[in-house]
């Protein structure tokens, strides 16, 4: 396996540029989801730090963008202050907002993908396949945005959600040993679990498409 850009380019320029657009766009919207949720709960830290913006450099930063260039996937950050937030389980609410945005984007990409399958043949084979590829990658990338981020291993959103409902889990990862466990757990997840997660993402995405196509009797026209 070579550099991911070369691998993607072999599948066509549309595949590569669609991947870039969806990954960066989905990360920005994911982080903005956290930011809006925090603001709703009374924490203005995202506004005060200038993170309520569409600028990928603000959300991702140079290191994250370099990692994206090297590996094809990366992360974003949204600064929040849990001590400024109001309401019960506010931290879980804010943490869940990011994956919820990914779920919404998955639904949107699915709807437009199905509509294109049904009505896009008028555009010709090349454009038909290119636009289908764009929506299909949107489904894949946002499906993994949901599944991966909900895994309860720090620093993923799932760990913050679980910690807000299980105080013992929070206390564990506030200790020095707990932080070490979290680091090793995340590394193990990344290096040994990534392929399994991608397999699940492809299976879910294809199952959703196939089920909806059969359910609504969608055929190209």
Q: What percent of the chain has pLDDT above 90?
A: 81
Residue 3 covered by a domain:
no
In a domain, 130, yes or no: yes
Residue-wise pLDDT tens digits, 58-96: 999 999 999 999 999 999 999 999 999 999 999 999 999
Of residues 143, 185, 23, 162, the one with CA closest to residue 91: 162
- Concatenating the DSSP letter of every residue in 140-169 gives HHHHHHHHHHTSSSTTSHHHHHHHHH-HHH
**Three-state DSSP class for 171?**
helix
Mean pLDDT (whole number) for 147-162? 94
Contacts of 57 (CB under 8 A, 6+ apart): 65
Q: Would you give the DSSP letter of residue 120?
A: G
Domains in the chain, number: 1
Contact 43, 80 (CB under 8 A): yes
* Helix/strand/coil for 1: coil
Asked if the structure places residue 221 within a domain, the reply is no
Torsion of CA 32, 91, 182, 199, to 10 degrees: -50
Instruction: Determine the pLDDT at residue 221.
Output: 63
Phi, psi at residue 39, to the nearest 5°?
-65, -40
The answer as to whether 42 is a domain residue is: yes
First to last CA, the chain: 38
DSSP state of 74: -
**Is 73 within a domain?**
yes
What does the alpha-carbon distance between residue 164 and residue 168 come to, in Å, rounded to a whole number?
Answer: 10
- pLDDT tens column, 130-140: 999 999 999 99
Residue 23 belongs to domain spanning: 8-215
Q: Does residue 220 belong to any structural domain of this protein? A: no
């Amino acid at each position: 396996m070579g550099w991911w850009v070369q691998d993607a380019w072999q599948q066509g320029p549309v595949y590569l540029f669609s991947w870039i657009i969806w990954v960066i766009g989905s990360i920005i919207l994911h982080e903005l989801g956290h930011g809006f949720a925090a603001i709703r709960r009374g924490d203005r830290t995202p506004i005060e730090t200038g993170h309520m913006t569409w600028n990928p450099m603000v959300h991702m930063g140079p290191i994250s963008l370099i990692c994206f260039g090297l590996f094809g996937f990366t992360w974003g950050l949204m600064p929040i202050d849990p001590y400024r937030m109001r309401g019960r389980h506010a931290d879980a609410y804010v943490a869940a907002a990011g994956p919820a945005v990914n779920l919404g984007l998955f639904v949107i990409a699915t709807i437009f993908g199905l509509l294109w399958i049904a009505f896009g043949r008028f555009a010709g084979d090349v454009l038909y396949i290119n636009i289908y590829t764009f929506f299909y990658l949107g489904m894949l990338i946002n499906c993994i945005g949901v599944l991966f981020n909900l895994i309860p291993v720090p620093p993923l959103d799932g760990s913050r959600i679980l910690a807000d409902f299980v105080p013992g889990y929070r206390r564990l990862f506030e200790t020095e040993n707990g932080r070490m466990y979290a680091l090793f757990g995340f590394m193990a997840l990344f290096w040994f679990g990534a392929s399994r997660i991608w397999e699940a993402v492809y299976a879910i995405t294809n199952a959703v498409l196939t089920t909806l196509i059969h359910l609504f009797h969608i055929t190209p026209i």
